[in-house]
C-alpha cells in the first residue's frame, strides 16, 4: 500500500481501502438494522438508547415505527449524517464484543500499518462512520493473536463531525490542523499538508484531498 511514495503522515479511508466494501454494506448495515428492531422493542425509553434516539429530528421519533422507517430510509439511500452514524456505532458494539462481527482487513493493510508505525509515520483514519465506530472496527479485526486490536497503531481519528464531508477539500485541511495540534501538545513538529498522503477507493475524495494540497492515491 503506497510503497513507492514519499510522505511523513498517512490518512486512510476505511470502506474499500482497509476492508472490503461488502463488509460494510452486506454485514455491518444489515446487522445494525436487525439489532435496531430488537432495541426498539425492548429499549425505546432506555437511558442507554435515548441519547441516540433524541439526536434524530423530532418528526422521526414520534414512535418506534416512525423511527425505524426513517433509519431504514437513510440506510437505503446511504445518507452519511452524524446522528445515523452514531446510532450505527452503538448498534454494532454488541456484535463486535460478542464475536459476531470481525473486520476482515485486506492482506496488505496490517503489514503497512506496522511498517508506518515502526517508521514513526503517524496513521490517521478518516471515514464517514463515527469515530466510535471506527475504533470498534480497528479493535475487532481478523488479525492473529495480539494483532487483532490495532487501535494502538492509529494516531488520529476523524469523521464528518470533527473534520467535515469527505468530498470537501476543507475537511483535509482540518485534519492536518488537528493532527499538528496533537503533535505540538506532544512536543513534535508540524507535518506540512504536502507531506501527508491520503488513500481512498473513491476518486472524488482523492480529488478533494489533492485540492487541499495533500498527496493522494486511489487504491
What backbone phi and psi angles, to 5 degrees, belong to 163?
A: -125, -45
Note the pLDDT of residue 145: 78
Q: Top-level CATH class of 22-98?
A: mainly alpha
Cross-strand bridge partners of residue 118:
none
Q: Provide CATH 1.10.720.60 ranges for the chain.
A: 22-98
Closest CA to 119 of 197, 64, 62, 66: 197
What pTM, to 2 d.p., does this model score? 0.91
CATH code of 9-19+103-218, in short, is: 3.40.50.1000
pLDDT in tens, the chain (219 residues): 666 789 999 999 999 999 999 999 999 999 999 999 999 999 999 999 999 999 999 999 999 999 999 999 999 999 999 999 999 999 999 999 999 999 999 999 999 999 999 999 999 999 999 999 999 999 999 988 789 999 999 999 999 999 999 999 999 999 999 999 999 999 999 999 999 999 999 999 999 999 999 999 999
Within 46-195, strands assigned E span 123-126, 156-158
CATH 3.40.50.1000 domain residues, the chain: 9-19+103-218
Residue-level pLDDT at 4:
73
Separation between Cα atoms, residue 128 and residue 148, nearest integer Å: 23
What long-range pairs does 45-52 form, CB within 8 A, spacing at least 24? Answer: 49/90, 52/83, 52/86, 52/87, 52/90
- What pLDDT was estimated at residue 1? 63
pLDDT (0 to 100) of residue 208 = 99
Amino acid at each position: 500500500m503506497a510503497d513507492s511514495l514519499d510522505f511523513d503522515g498517512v490518512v486512510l479511508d476505511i470502506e474499500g481501502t482497509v476492508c472490503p466494501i461488502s463488509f460494510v454494506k452486506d454485514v455491518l448495515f444489515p446487522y445494525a438494522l436487525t439489532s435496531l428492531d430488537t432495541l426498539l422493542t425492548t429499549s425505546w425509553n432506555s437511558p442507554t438508547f435515548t441519547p441516540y434516539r433524541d439526536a434524530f429530528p423530532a418528526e422521526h421519533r414520534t414512535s418506534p415505527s416512525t423511527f425505524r422507517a426513517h433509519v431504514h430510509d437513510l440506510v437505503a439511500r446511504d445518507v452519511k449524517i452524524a446522528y445515523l452514524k452514531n446510532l450505527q456505532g452503538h448498534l454494532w458494539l454488541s456484535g463486535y464484543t460478542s464475536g459476531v462481527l470481525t473486520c476482515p482487513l485486506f492482506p496488505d493493510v496490517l503489514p503497512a500499518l506496522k511498517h508506518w508505525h515502526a517508521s514513526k509515520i503517524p496513521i490517521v483514519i478518516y471515514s464517514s462512520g463515527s469515530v466510535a465506530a471506527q475504533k470498534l472496527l480497528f479493535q475487532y479485526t481478523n488479525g492473529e493473536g495480539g494483532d487483532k486490536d490495532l487501535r494502538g497503531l492509529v494516531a488520529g481519528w476523524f469523521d464528518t463531525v470533527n473534520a467535515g464531508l469527505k468530498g470537501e477539500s476543507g475537511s483535509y485541511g482540518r485534519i492536518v490542523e488537528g493532527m499538528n495540534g496533537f503533535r505540538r501538545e506532544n512536543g513534535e513538529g508540524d507535518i506540512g499538508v504536502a507531506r501527508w498522503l491520503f488513500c481512498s477507493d473513491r476518486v472524488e475524495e482523492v480529488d478533494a484531498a489533492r485540492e487541499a494540497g495533500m498527496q493522494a492515491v486511489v487504491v
